[in-house]
Structure 1
Amino acid sequence: MRTDDLDFELPADLIAQEPAETRAQSRLLHYRRDDRSISHRRFAELDRLLRPGDVLVFNDTRVLPARFTLRKATGGLIEGLFLAEVCRGRWRVLLRGLEAYRGPLRVADAPEVVVNVVGRGEDGEYELVVPTDLPAAAVLDRWGRMPLPPYIRRRRRHDDRDEMDRQRYQTVFARLAGAVAAPTAGLHFDPQLLGRLDAAGIQRTFITLHVGAGTFRPVQSATLEQHKMHAEAYRISPEAAEALNQARRQGRRIVAVGTTSARVLESQPADEPFRAIEDRTSIFIYPPYRWKHVGAMITNFHLPRSTLIAMVAAMVGLEQQRRIYQEAINQRYRFFSYGDAMLIE
């Protein structure tokens, strides 16, 4: 499949720079595959759109405040993104602006902290030694910022919306820290909506996939078949496996909340029970694809030429994906991480 088939023109003013005033007041495009109908709703209506007995599968990863700024001895600034903790005090990061600099680096918001580059990889990856006995999550909580994607514009150092981003670029059910991007479909759920879903007989369970930096990266190859998919760590707990197996035994629908949940579910074998597992997945779902477990999906509107929009096309077909996105543009839906959502069933 040609990557160009997933391209589209989006007016810049439809790229959401801030979330909706309240989570569940986001708009929701409802697409039904059986009759190819499109209707326009509010996310708060979700409890009236799903079926009693449906099982919502949420990703409970917690986003780390993974962006940080370093300062060279010359005064120049280097932007950093935490990727992983190799061991206590040793981090794998992306750095932009380091280039050939070899001098000391201080944390811009904690100038008493000096970090050292001890390894250089490819594509801007480095290893840093950070003088601390604390886990990376605790250190980043002190002087990190939320890792908003570059299309959400913020001031380079401090922005009046930083605290809002800490609250709203995080799901209300986030639990296990490790993501450097949010599972954005989950951002629309608030406690009130979750309570109404409970009352409507709609069940939920949680898996964990730590969303990596490659999530929003556009496909660079000419065809999807040539693209090398990034791998991400995930976990299915014994409780989640049992909830999913029970739903399947009873013929109830599994609804993936977001592409990350869908990737975890579809990484499991089709002809075996779900089981508790910790693993990594590099599954790339694009047309044509036969879905094994996911019966419906809630997702945001995604970047052109991305692996995420390819998954939408795999669920509805390329022609319908184009139609849905054009309708969303015509109706002025808000796009990408802080934007509106769609329900595909």
Structure 2
Amino acid sequence: MNRLILATAALAFTVILVGAFTRLTDAGLGCPDWPGCYGFLTPTAAQANADLALSRYPDRPLEVAKAWAEMGHRYVASLLGLLILAIAVKCWRTPQRGHGLALAALVLFQGALGMWTVTLNLMPVVVMGHLLGGLTLFCLLILLWLRRRPHLPTALPALGGAAALALVALVVQIALGGWTSANYAAVVCTTLPVCEGSWWQNLDFASAFRLVQPRADSYEFGTLDYSARMTIHVTHRLWAVVTAASLFYLAWQLMRRPLWRSLGLAIALMTLLQVGLGLANVLFQLPLAVAVAHNGGGALLAMLLVSTNYLLRARARRSSPVGEEVPC
């Protein structure tokens, strides 16, 4: 069972990367309908019936590469959903039943968000919600795996507050990153450390962070003006400083304790990598590989912080022999 959970978590991480690739290659509407592609099960079938596909969606001619990126994401996400439902069934008669139900409910909601992403033409709040839902699924799977471990380190409640604050800061930063991407604001500022020109004179928080934006035929490539997008971008950068500081502080405190040194070092190194990837995105104008890696790094940091918060508060409540699994 533990292997199934870890394999499913690895697949959830893969879905996050594939979703980032789909979004960053502007393939989110590679298939303008759902769950099929131009009314067919595969892009190959749509290509074989190109005239019919074009008649169904005359404003969106078939681009095979983008269609495969979008459908590939759906196929892998569907497999993830089936595995999570299998885990939920296995957990039904165990103490982890609530955890399994939460996973099942969230993956079903993720499916709905995936549908709305297409049917609402990349509405930013839906796109951001879909990203956060995927990260939450990944972290919940890792948390379930941790809950089943027979031996845990002694709790360290003294660092619970710092860990909780670091997690909150990171969640806000990830949400800001998703909002930046969903509104196509990733490259509106091309200089460091903040933005070019008198950026502070153009801040427009009211428009930048209106979750329900004015109705549009499509939100692809964004509908906000420069000031709103610049405000989103700048906020993401400035909050990154707060997030990095909180993560480095937590990592330093953990590394001072011998039993927690490895976890603290992992958080510190992952934070350094994320900062470097963020800077590279600005300096090199959002290279695809770097941008996808930045999404993956955010997911790994979230996993580390969720695990840290759980372990810091965990009690040695299990006395199973080494290697014995907790039923699930």
User: Normalized against structure 1, the TM-score is what?
Assistant: 0.27
Name the structure where strand makes up a greater proportion of residues: 1
